[in-house]
A and B are shown apart, each in its own frame.
Chain A
Amino acid sequence: MELLLLLALLDGLAYAAQLFMVAVGLTLVFGVLKILNVAHGSLFAIGAYSASTLAALAGTPWLSLLALALAALAVGAIAGPSIERGLLARIYDKEQVLQLLLTFALFMILEDVQKLVWGVQPVFEDAPVRALGPVVVGGIVYTAYQLILLPGLAVVCLLFLVWFLRRTVTGRMILAVAHDREAAEAIGIDSRRIYLLAFTIGAGLAALGGALAAPTTSLVPGVGVQTIVLSFAVVATAGLGQIEGAAATALLVGLGRSFAVYFAPELEVVVPYLLMVIVLVLRPSGLFGGRELRRI
């Protein structure tokens, strides 16, 4: 019983870490651009597939770890700007329905692109996990990759984002544009660049989430759908645009799901959504949302 509890805890932490990185990208993009990017799930999937391919090519286990980071960086740096400049920049002043449809269409297209490039057979490459080897905690043999690397990176990611957004010039400009685009323009901030930057960071986080998830799971078509739906649940539960909130909620959802896996397996799939429904019924703007209601 105690072993099961510990196992559920460790699984939950590892899962929460992955979830956070994808969800925080989604919430950042929404907070700044005010667009819910459905194709965020595709960026996760493409990041994951590219990471698997690159890790398999890397040769040594340690290089395969580096390959994950490279894959995420490349997908973020290429897909981010091209989607933002090529598609989203044309529809900022259009209705939200159109924005949602456009990112949904992009999502559908990218789903097929994945099948064209990587096929429909499961892709699995765990060299990066093997590189770090196992660790033993309380009698349980666990992978260092999931126990240390994933949660560690998630924490680094959170701290970096909070520092970047609150303390640096560029970060404050992002917050200013998120808060009020017109006012930010009035003081001379170039909101087009801010949109580009925020979207690229968001895309990079999705790809990083995918790249880090890749070595722990078999990649199959549909992995993007699962991700976007779950991260949306996290983001909505936390309150749209909330960064620390996304972290806390990812933890809640991650742990909730892993405890369900061990103690009430039939509830595994519904737990995140159950949490979301309960929270949104009680607090429609999310656990951490609603501060902007003060604005005129």
Chain B
Amino acid sequence: MVGETRVSSPLLEARGLVLAFGGVRAADGIDLDVNEGEILAIIGPNGAGKTTFLNMVTGYLRPQAGSIRFRGREITGLTPRRIVRLGIARSFQIPQLFTEHTVLENLALQLAAREGFWAPFAPLLSRARSERALALLERFGLGELASVRADALDEGARKLVDVAMATALAPRLLLMDEPTSGVAASEKHAIMDRLVSALRREGVTAVFVEHDMEVVARHADRVAVWSNGKILAQGPPATVLADPAVHREVLGVEVAPC
């Protein structure tokens, strides 16, 4: 481990996570802490087990061994919905928007889902809920997209709306799977700027999987490098990205770091 900085007791503690699919060990003893308030990037080659890790934390996959604690509480094996309610939200590599609803309706639905279920005849777009949804959109600078149908959004906007939706849950921890994948290279930084500044303003701790090293260097407080289901290195981007071993693993080439 390279230069780990520990602020306070970790928000999320993963210990000894193991999960094998057939012969492939997608998690082979993962130990990772995520500290309150930080933005942590996860990098690594395809198939290294990055998304598997997110799926284990959010309850979509159950580790065969190991434990995950969130704010000191054991959450291993809880259902995704329980975990969401405890304050861990996620966005997906492919945004999971409800395409036949407008952006505002997507957010309102998210807010309503948090409020509960037994309001069978309450209008979805009640005034209070519409206002809250709109306020959330505006925090991400998406106010003008409120009445656009989700399937008419461009990829960058979809990603932002997806993250805005995840933050509607008022999570303590947000997990994002490749928030800039599919976005034009020229737009990546602009989108990450909006994302990260909104998250920092809300005080949301975030973990994101990313392939673009420039995005990582610019936006993450800390990086963890995945390789074959293990964590190869973790620490501040400047240190980790300068490590030749990391370079070899992530970029697959033997070059001196720039």
Measuring CB to CB, which residues of chain A are less than 8 angstroms from any residue of chain B?
164, 167-173, 175-176, 179-180, 182-191, 193, 291, 294-296
Contact = CB atoms under 8 A, between A and B. Distances in A.
A28 to B, nearest CB: 15
Given A179-B98, A182-B60, A185-B84, 6 more contacts: A169-B122, A169-B123, A172-B105, A180-B96, A186-B84, A187-B110
Contacts of A180: 96, 98
A186 B98 contact: no
Contact of B80 (A167, A173, A176, A186): A186
Interface of B: 58, 60, 79-81, 84-85, 89-90, 92, 94, 96-101, 105, 109-110, 112-114, 117-124, 151, 165, 169
Contacts of A176: 98, 109
B116 to A, nearest CB: 9
Given A188-B113, A294-B151, A170 B120 contact: yes
Contact of A187 (B113, B118, B121, B124): B113
Given A167-B124, A168-B120, A170-B120, A187 B94 contact: no
23 contacts: A164-B120, A167-B124, A168-B121, A168-B123, A171-B124, A172-B105, A173-B109, A175-B98, A175-B101, A183-B92, A183-B97, A185-B80, A185-B84, A186-B58, A187-B84, A188-B81, A188-B114, A188-B169, A189-B117, A191-B81, A193-B117, A294-B99, A294-B151
The 5 A-B pairs with the shortest beta carbon distances in the complex, nearest first, are A183-B96, A188-B113, A170-B120, A169-B112, A188-B84
A295 B99 contact: yes
Contacts of A179: 98-100
Nearest to A194: B117
B206 to A, nearest CB: 16
A170 B113 CA distance: 9
Contacts of B121: 164, 168, 170
A294 B152 CA distance: 12
Nearest to A169: B112
Nearest to A291: B100
B81 A172 contact: no
A191 B89 CA distance: 17
Contact of B101 (A172, A185, A193, A294): A172
A191 to B, nearest CB: 8
B85 A188 contact: yes
A182 B97 CA distance: 11
A169 B124 contact: yes
B96 A169 contact: no
